[in-house]
Structure 1
Amino acid sequence: MKSWVILLIILGFLLGSCTVIAGDVSHWPASLVAVIAIVLLKIGNDRVKLLAWPMEFLLAAGVTMIVINLARLAFVPLQY
């Protein structure tokens, strides 16, 4: 149970950081996909124990959030 609270803190930090950097909530479609991927990563990591909790998982979650948001930006047309 404690690890899920830490996961919520990690997700809150990542989503808050994305909102601050973007200046609005336009990142939410990609961030929702990233949150789903991170939760699935947590479930898989609880079973396999591939990543150390919480530091290595935090790194993997941050990279997942960045990569998915950058992939979204590659497909969104630029606004001039």
Structure 2
Amino acid sequence: DDIGKLVVLDYLLTGARFDQYSTSLPVNDREPARRQLANQRDPLRDQIVLALRQAYGIDAATDDHLGERVPEGNTFVTLAPDYDP
């Protein structure tokens, strides 16, 4: 969900796309709207980068960014509770 939002925000804020899609806004409201989108994008990007850094072991992992850890050697986890390979 967050990655999808980041992709959309990056798309809108790249090049002249924002100008193309903001023609319905009054001219005086366009720059504040652009800043608002950038203010949503920047912390979202930082959050995703931090989660990726933790997932790849570059930074120390925290529970608020990563889900359940898979034990080493168990790349795939079954959903069947009674199955033990």
Instruction: Select the structure with the greater relative contact order (CA < 8 A; seq sep ≥ 6).
Output: 1
Instruction: Please classify the TM superposition score into its range, dividing by the shorter chain length.
Output: 0.3 to 0.5
Higher fraction of helix:
1
Larger-Rg structure: 2
